[in-house]
Chains A and B, each alone.
Chain A
Amino acid sequence: MSAAAVRVEDVSMDYETPGGRVRALDGISLEVSAGESLSIVGPSGCGKSTLLGLIGALDVPTAGRVRIGEDEVSGLGERERAALRRGVCGFVFQADNLHPFLTVVENVGFQLALHGADGGAERCVELLVRLGLADELGKLPDQLSGGQRQRVAVARALIHRPAVILADEPTGALDAGNSERVIDLVIAVGGEIGATLVMVTHDPEAAARMDRTVTLRDGRLTTAGVIAHAR
């Protein structure tokens, strides 16, 4: 009964390279329901990150359509897409991309500041404490472990209660214990805010934590690769 939060319709994506035109995605169609979690797996270079970038309105496809909720992303200009991303999307990448000169609280708080929201500090602190970072609030990224840094990145992705969380290899740089903790937190906090989660991963354990998995190979979805996970 739930409405599609993300709809990808017959999407293809070409890149110009010095060696000529390369088709990164070829006729992809998929839907993710509101509140559902989906993992995208497949070998390196199969187009996973390209697909995630299209779903997150970071880019537009060469052909086909991408919708987030009611918005057709593929029809928007750069400026409109930026506004959509700010309001609707939360991103977690393999590299945490924390700003080295901002404290933990500030690195999370800027997401709210970009919305013009005042008084976000309390919300930031509350979420960071929830993510086990109570003792790190005033620290700079360099003073944190890799696992702690990635949890800060998770807080930054979730603080503005996005409708869609887009995660690209969020555990790629972490050991098993920290990976599990990051995935636990994304699922728990994402679930509380009712967010839809789309995650690209190489990690079979992380993929199995999602409601559903699709497999990409050479820019196409493999029919055998759709797995619904028992919960």
Chain B
Amino acid sequence: MSAVSEGSLLRVDDVSKTYRNGALETRVLREVSFALARGETTSLVGVSGSGKSTLIAVLAGLLTPDSGRVDFDGADLGGLAERGRAALRAERIGVALQAGNLIPFLTARENVQLAMDFGGRDRATSADERLDELGLADRRHHLPSRLSGGEAQRVALAMALANDPDLLLADEVVGELDSATAEQVLDVVFDAWRERGLTVLLVTHSRELAQRTQRQLRLADGRVYTA
């Protein structure tokens, strides 16, 4: 499947990644190709261990593939220095992970502020306003250990969305939440999509959740298929 799209924000072409541990080789990604259209929501479904997190890391420029290329808005990630990729992550690609990556000795507000400090963009929205939007106004000064799972996940999303990114990569962001809380967290993602024209890649093991996005992809045996 070679995806060629005029309006694509992200393009993945023939990306392969193999992990080597001594004599053991695990081919995690095999000639993966797909594209994400600007302003579109896409889900990527795969069982655990199928390489979803590896793919997210490659898309975010955190991991270099063995072969193939990833273009973000026309720029080859492999051609950028680490500094350039870091700037891209800080300003244009928001990454939200399952467990969040909250710093334990910083409050919710400080964690969001931290994400903002790394974006070079002018922002109309403050950390407090960002938290307020996500229903966390009374949690601003709480440490991560004092937040519920759903609250911590919303703070992680607030961090991912802090700099008004063009692309949100959400890796199992509702994986460990009960369905009501998961719904709240997903509302945050889809509200951002509607209001800001965000491009969203929602990585999940849940087929039900995947139905909420406009397009569905499936990752199996290291290959990406159109579901």
Q: Which residues of A contact B (CB under 8 A)?
A: 56, 58, 77-79, 81-82, 85-86, 89, 91, 93, 97, 99-103, 106, 110, 113-114, 138-140, 142
Contacts and interface: CB of A to CB of B under 8 A. Distances in A.
Contact of A78 (B83, B95, B113, B141): B141
Contacts of A86: 110
A114 B82 contact: no
8 contacts: A58-B143, A78-B107, A82-B107, A85-B105, A86-B110, A101-B89, A103-B82, A113-B117
Contact of B103 (A97, A101, A138): A97
Contacts of B113: 114
Contacts of B89: 101
Contact of A110 (B60, B101, B118): B118
B103 A99 contact: yes
B215 interface: no
B105 A56 contact: yes
A19 B106 CA distance: 30
Interface string B92-133: 000100000101111101100110011000000000000000
B141 A106 contact: no
A67 to B, nearest CB: 19
Nearest to B93: A101
Contacts of A102: 86, 118
Contact of A82 (B83, B110, B117): B110
Nearest to B81: A138
Contacts of B140: 79
Interface of B: 60, 62, 82-83, 86, 89, 95, 101, 103-107, 109-110, 113-114, 117-118, 140-143, 145
A101 B101 contact: yes
Contacts of B107: 78, 82
Contacts of A77: 141
Contacts of B145: 58
Nearest to A142: B62
B141 A97 contact: no
B105 A101 contact: no
Given A77-B141, A81-B141, 10 more contacts: A58-B105, A58-B145, A79-B140, A100-B101, A101-B95, A102-B118, A113-B114, A113-B117, A114-B117, A140-B82
A188 to B, nearest CB: 23
Given A99-B101, A101-B60, A101-B62, A78 B142 contact: yes
A90 to B, nearest CB: 9
Contacts of B143: 58
A114 B118 contact: no
Given A110-B118, A113-B114, A114-B117, A100 B62 contact: yes
The residue in B62, B104, B106, B145 that gathers the most chain A C-beta atoms within 10 A of its C-beta is: B106
The residue in A56, A81, A102, A142 that gathers the most chain B C-beta atoms within 10 A of its C-beta is: A102
